[in-house]
């Protein structure tokens, strides 16, 4: 059994129009959301063995503010990645529980394609910032995951968390 925690980066700022999109950092709400998402993952014992993180500033900062005790791999290929690129990265993943932090629209499309049945949540299909899907796969290794093979265990957005 493999478990995937699929997270869109927390809310980023648009305050500096001179910044390249890749360099945008989290805003105040995003920093708070990332901390609360980390608390939520710990409280639900959903701790990853490894994190696969886009190398954009906002995804790196989201990962850092989760304060999880796992190795993080910064992957330039996850920045602006489509679902096909994300599949390829996941198929090479190691560990029982993997956290992937990326961007829309790719991360939302991947979430929709991974699970057999979408979680009954009104925000699942627009996958807002900080949206987090936890899915389980009855496979021996990550190369066995495929379209509709996942079972949604949890889906949460930061606005549902307090702290």
Tell me the pLDDT tens digit for each residue of 71-130. Answer: 999 999 999 998 889 999 999 999 999 999 999 999 999 999 999 999 999 999 999 999
- Asked whether the whole model's pTM tops 0.85, one would answer yes
pLDDT at 14: 82
State percent of the chain over pLDDT 70: 99
**CB-based contacts of 68: which residues, under 8 Å, 6+ apart?**
38, 41, 42, 47, 48, 51, 99
**C-beta of residue 23 within 8 angstroms of C-beta of residue 39:** no
pLDDT at 162: 78
**Distances, alpha carbon 31 to alpha carbons 34, 70, 86, 129, 160, in Å:** 5, 19, 25, 12, 15
Report domain extents, the chain. 2-160
Radius of gyration of the CA atoms of the chain, in A? 14
Count of CB atoms situated within 10 Å of the CB of 160: 12
CATH of domain 2-160: 3.40.50.1240
């Amino acid at each position: 059994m493999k478990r995937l925690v699929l997270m869109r980066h927390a809310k980023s700022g648009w305050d500096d129009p001179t910044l390249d999109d890749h360099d945008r950092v989290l805003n105040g709400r995003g920093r708070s959301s990332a901390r609360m998402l980390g608390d939520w993952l710990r409280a639900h014992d959903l701790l990853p063995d490894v994190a696969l993180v886009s190398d954009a500033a906002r995804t790196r900062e989201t990962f850092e503010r989760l304060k999880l005790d796992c190795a993080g791999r910064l992957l330039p290929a996850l920045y602006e990645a489509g679902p096909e690129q994300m599949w390829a990265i996941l198929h090479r993943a190691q560990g029982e529980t993997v956290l992937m932090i990326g961007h829309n629209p790719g991360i939302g499309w991947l979430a929709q394609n991974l699970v057999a049945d979408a979680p009954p949540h009104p925000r699942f299909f627009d996958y807002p910032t900080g949206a987090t899907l936890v899915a389980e796969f009855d496979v021996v290794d990550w190369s066995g995951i495929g379209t509709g093979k996942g079972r949604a265990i949890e889906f949460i957005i930061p606005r549902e968390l307090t702290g």
